[in-house]
Amino acid sequence: MIHSIVRAISLGATVVSALFVAQSASAATVFTFTNKGTTSMVGVGSYTFASDDGSLSVKATAWHANDSNTSAITTDSISRAQLGFWSNAGLGVIYGTDNAFDGSHQIDNKGLGAGADFVMLQFNKDVTIDSLARNVYGISGIGCCDSDAAFWADTSNIFGAPSLLANINLSSASFNESIFTALPGTGSSGTTKLGTTSSASVWLVSAALNQRNDGFKIAGLSVTPTGAVPEPATWAMMILGMGAVGFAMRRRSAVKTTVSYA
């Protein structure tokens, strides 16, 4: 009997271990915003993209943080902007005097006191953004080029549960700039790891706040979906539970039924 229990528990452990490894080894999910063929779209309020493998979706909207007082830790206000994506370039923002057809429609901070463009990304699941791919562009009338950025994750679910249908309006908000994490860039296009384990369904990606002459388009993202992972004690209970079930089934199948005839 003891041997049967051990075998049943061992089988349960093997099954649970396989499930755990499969979950842990899940590959990152990639969104590519430069693979739209010859299609470009400018001046839209929002756009929903599917990941390259179709397993996730993200809704992107464009905004501008007005920041006339660069010594203050909060922005003046937030204004709605227009989103654009350009084939072989990526996601950009059109705000104010920006023109969709010249070098002014990237995510940028044109000068001190001019504020900064940013994109809000609403995923249909909680994710960790592992890396951000940026294509660097010079700013029209200013020159070239840098790509310093900043990001923030809604880890406290201020904007609610994951939903592509939620119409989040930031127009009445202002930001404490200290909540953003800096993501330095260079004068060259490339991919940068965020170095964060934060998990959220809503993320903001901005040109660097209180800086100037940074301009880039978001070429792509690599994200990892996150969810509730059982604690070690929970795994142990599952193993014991499966072992007990296996033993009970084995014992039941071993019982012989005797039929007596009167």
DSSP 8-state secondary structure symbol assigned to residue 67: -
What's the pLDDT score for residue 255? 47
Model confidence at 256: pLDDT above 50: no
Q: What predicted TM-score, i.e. pTM, was given to this entire model? A: 0.75
The backbone torsions φ and ψ at residue 107, rounded to the nearest 5 degrees and listed phi first, read: -80, 110
- Average pLDDT over the chain, rounded to an integer: 78
What's the pLDDT score for residue 112? 53
CB within 8 Å of 2: residues ≥ 6 apart: none
Model confidence at 254: pLDDT above 70: no
Q: 209-241: per-residue pLDDT in tens?
A: 878 788 899 999 999 999 644 444 444 455 445
